[in-house]
Structure 1
């Protein structure tokens, strides 16, 4: 992936997310790009659930799918794409991995990809993550500061540091759900290389117990709220957490919703698992 970043089409990516301006490596650009990305490119597991395939993480394939094609992707694809764009602008980006905690009924392996972004001249790095895909996902990158709260279009976030004497400190991304802070995922600052991501991607796409194989999930942040498809239900979530749910009649209506509301072209050969 790193070698291919020299050929990355930054202008095409910026057009895809509808971003215009001076692409300089500063905190304002980072936050603005992050928000434009999550409001333009949906999170989706069509390849894994409907095609039963393992998505390619080669940057050229990710760009073909998500920049030049009408598709979204999972956390690996989203954050690989953002990392390439940020590096092209002049940021230093490090891959980190996280353990999802939100709504987990058992302890899960570390399979989530997120980014540490070093901003030239900034006193602390930032955490960026355009691939969490939920209503409690970051809209903008946030500084790596213990306890500092970030309010983003009604969503409230903070990072909490949890020192461990026997190992690297844990950090947790928290979001407000209802009236309480809720852990979304935990991570360390140990750098991960591109080669480390491939086994996680394969595990998530092929393990029969993986959530990505259990049901269709598509989601995208909106300026006010979030739009989601889970299985055959379309869910609109407002900033205050209220939900409006509509059952979709059949796969034909599902296809129309994905095309019209999420700008996703479902690839030929996609079939609902028997």
Structure 2
């Protein structure tokens, strides 16, 4: 499915700190998924400069693995798909409509990339996603089964069917909101397979459209075992594993660059303006 440009699994696994088994089984799938999320930051700096980031596997290795950079959903999940295929999983690219903050499931286009990973010998594939830029995103893959709750690395998710007019079943990923003790929709998708050229077009649109949230302000996040750190425009928000939330304003370019270096592990490109817009908001793909 993906281009046949060499993918170096050894280098990738060292970058994410995975020292476990290299088998196409559920335990490896869950472990590598979580390790990727905790090692590689989410960021939109290329789109903020009006540039569509390359989805070429070699360029993704250079940027996310060999450099102090991250990426957004198309970059993360394309790279992760290469890793899964190298480990022996069969991967299908899926396109989803982000439901979080939307008026209806059909009010937004399909602009999010997710993955369907098939495990040899397992009766059901797994929904995998290392590129959803939100605190409620998957930390571990979940089996594709409806109306069953799954707990992974401290987060709770479930998949439900939702009605729609298309010929294929529509799935909705929901995350449990502990503060509200309720379920919140993350994104909706069908199992129609998408191909790399489809995401080349979607990636270009999201990265260059002046109305895209990713071209308006920095949206950067880093996750580890104790906290989720988010820079959304000038708002720096830290959510601890115990639910404690602290927020503060980033006051200038120097402070923003220092935060990226020290807290997110990102070296911003020279010459770019990080805080060109001041409005905080919600940007997820």
Do they superpose with TM above 0.5? yes
80, 87, 99: which one pairs with 1:101? 99
Deviation at 1:155, TM superposition (A): 1.5
Counterpart of 2:207 in structure 1 is 205
Deviation at 1:240, TM superposition (A): 5.0
233, 243, 246: which one pairs with 1:231? 233
Answer whether contact 2:222 2:229 (CA < 8 A) is retained.
yes
Counterpart of 1:135 in structure 2 is 135
CA–CA distance in structure 1, aligned partners of residues 142 and 263 of structure 2: 28
CA–CA distance in structure 2, aligned partners of residues 205 and 243 of structure 1: 30
Q: Structure 1 residues 166 and 35 mapped into 2: Cα distance closer, same or farther (>3 Å)?
A: closer
Counterpart of 2:154 in structure 1 is 154
Q: 121-130 or 222-231: which moved more?
A: 222-231
CA–CA distance in structure 2, aligned partners of residues 255 and 4 of structure 1: 36
Taking the TM superposition and a 5 Å limit, the aligned residue runs for 1:28-177 are: 28-49=27-48, 51-105=49-103, 107-162=107-162, 164=164, 166-177=166-177
The unaligned stretches of length 5 or more in structure 1 are none
CA–CA distance in structure 1, aligned partners of residues 96 and 76 of structure 2: 15
CA–CA distance in structure 1, aligned partners of residues 214 and 164 of structure 2: 31
254, 257, 274: which one pairs with 1:255? 257
Question: What TM-score, normalized by structure 2, do the two folds share?
Answer: 0.91
Question: What TM-score, normalized by structure 1, do the two folds share?
Answer: 0.95
CA–CA distance in structure 1, aligned partners of residues 119 and 186 of structure 2: 24
Task: Name the SS of the counterpart of 1:3 in structure 2.
Answer: coil
Answer whether contact 1:154 1:240 (CA < 8 A) is retained.
no
Deviation at 1:164, TM superposition (A): 4.9
Q: Structure 1 residues 209 and 166 mapped into 2: Cα distance closer, same or farther (>3 Å)?
A: closer
Deviation at 1:100, TM superposition (A): 0.2
Answer whether contact 1:235 1:243 (CA < 8 A) is retained.
yes
Deviation at 1:267, TM superposition (A): 1.2
CA–CA distance in structure 2, aligned partners of residues 153 and 2 of structure 1: 29
Q: Which runs of 4+ in 1 moved over 6 A?
A: none
Q: 24-33 or 155-164: which moved more?
A: 155-164
Taking the TM superposition and a 5 Å limit, the aligned residue runs for 1:1-16 are: 2-5=2-5, 7-16=6-15
Answer whether contact 2:130 2:139 (CA < 8 A) is retained.
yes
CA–CA distance in structure 2, aligned partners of residues 250 and 120 of structure 1: 51
Counterpart of 2:246 in structure 1 is 244
CA–CA distance in structure 2, aligned partners of residues 163 and 233 of structure 1: 37
Q: For this pair of structures, how many residues does the alignment match? A: 272
CA–CA distance in structure 2, aligned partners of residues 203 and 24 of structure 1: 36
- What is the CA RMSD across the aligned residues, in angstroms? 1.6
Q: Structure 1 residues 253 and 211 mapped into 2: Cα distance closer, same or farther (>3 Å)?
A: same
Answer whether contact 1:215 1:231 (CA < 8 A) is retained.
yes
Task: Name the SS of the counterpart of 1:33 in structure 2.
Answer: helix
